[in-house]
Every structure is written in C-alpha cells, then in structure tokens.
Amino acid sequence: MNQTTLETALSDLSLGEIRYFDAIGSTNDYAARWAGEGAPDRSLVVADEQTAGRGRGARHWFTPPGSALAMSLILRPALPEEGGQITRVAGLGALGVCGALQQSYRLPAEIKWPNDVLVRGRKVAGVLAEASWVGNRLSAVILGIGINVAPNSIPQDDWVGYHDRPFPATCVEAAAGEPVARLALLRVVLAELLDWLPRLSSPEFIRAWSERLAFRGDWVQVVASKTESLEGRIVNLNGDGSLRVELRSGESKSLQVGEIHLRPIDRSPK
C-alpha cells in the first residue's frame, strides 16, 4: 500500500483529499490538525503503522506495520444539528465495518455499543469519533477506525485494555479463515460509510445500527466508573444513538457515550 495504489483503489469514491503515511503517531491527531488547516470534507488519512494510536479513553491502540488498517475520515457539517453527532458518527464507523465484513467475508459482525466491532465475541475493530472545534463552532468530526486484519495485528496478550478483557482480540483473517487484502477491505468499508452518511439522522440508520447491536435482549453489567455499575437488559437505541436499557426494577434508562463499558452477564434471552 502506498499513496498511488491508495488513490487508484479509491478513485471512484466520493472522497476529499487522501494522505498516506508509512508510519504516523495517530491518524486521528493528524486529521484533527489537517481539519484545522482547512482540509476538505471527507478527506482521508491512512497509515500502515501507528506509533501512538488511541482508542476510547486515550487507551493505546496497537497498529504494527503491514497487518492492520488505520484510517481517519474528516467529516464536515452538514452533520445532524439536533445532538448526538459524535455518538452517531461512532455508530456510522462501526456499522460501516460490520457491513464490509458481512459483504466481503460473510462474518457475523456485531457492534458492542458504542464503538467496538465483535466477531463471535472477539474484538476485531474499534472506532474513535472526536470533535474538532474552531472556537465554539463544531468544525468537523474526525472518524477514526482501526481494524485488525492479519494475525500480527493482535496484541501479544490477546486483549486490548483492562475494560476489554471479556472481549479478547482477533483479526479478520483468523475469523474468515482466508487471506485478506487490506486495500480491498478498506475500499469496501469506505463505500459502506459513504452510503450511510447521507442517512445519518434517519430512522433507517438507527434501525440498522440497532439490528447489529451485540447483546440486544441480554442482561449486561454497565460499568461507568471504578465504583459505579448497574445491571440492565439492552433494549434498543434511541434516536440520538444513546443506548436504552431496562433495569432490574423495570425502569428504563438511557446511556450516553462516555467512559461506559458493557460486560455480558447472561447471553440467553430474558
């Protein structure tokens, strides 16, 4: 993969400018700086290796050379103005990865709300959506996506971060049982994203996202901090992308994106 092959493979997609790096600290950090310098809408940053890749909560995201996909897409408003922009963009990224894995490899990909992609209970991809501000104005949303493609992309201890221990890492090649061309997978992911992007605030988008939810109908432990947790059954998504759960008391509660982690209690329906 290089600048020329990347531009050729993606030439028929409705993207802005494309910048490729053999190695970079973080594609999201670079994209945020580029957005501040006036990068066009839908501009794309792709790197073969990240030396300071980040997941949610600033946790390290492992991206060794030649074995993963690391990308960041700059999205300018028009994004929805009625709230939930960051949540919906994170859902957009996860839904795009799920669609690509299903379309290309028939993998049963699911979204662990709000931003991880699981295949058979193992984490294959992560999404990080971040706002880029100019003063008090939302200038862009940076959509970062990391996908474990080849076995070398899996961390040696087979899990990513303390809170993800219930979801050990895997890669697309291991899940699919066949070699995976990173450039071809990247193209399908981006095509899925661009297809859903105009429908980001539509009921159809929320419905498709809801249908991909991992643990829907199951009881989970919701960990909000080291001292705060609750148990609830995942019901569905609200229109803004927040997660609706039913507590043991029967009360309905909506969860917003933040430092919240879901851990399954019982995968059987209740």
pTM of this structure: 0.89
| Mean per-residue pLDDT over the chain, rounded | 87
**SS3 sequence of 37-84:** CCCCCCCEEEEEEECCCECHHHCECCECCCCEEEEEEEECCCCCCCCC
pLDDT interval class at 140 (50, 70, 90): very high
Which of 104, 93, 106 is closest to 190 using CA atoms?
93
Arithmetic mean of pLDDT, 202-231: 86
Which domains are seen in the chain, by residue range? 3-211 (3.30.930.10), 219-266 (2.30.30.100)
236 in helix, strand or coil? strand
**Among residues 12, 14, 16, 18, which one has the least CA distance to residue 30?**
18
The pair of structure tokens assigned to 1 is: 């993969």
Q: How confident is the model at residue 269 (pLDDT cuts 50, 70, 90)?
A: very low
Max CA separation in the chain (angstroms): 58
From the CB of residue 260, how many other CB atoms can be counted at a distance below 10 Å? Answer: 18
Is the pLDDT at 149 greater than 80? The verdict is yes
Q: Residue 167: is its pLDDT beyond 90?
A: no
Which residue in 55, 29, 195, 46 sits closest to 112, CA to CA?
55
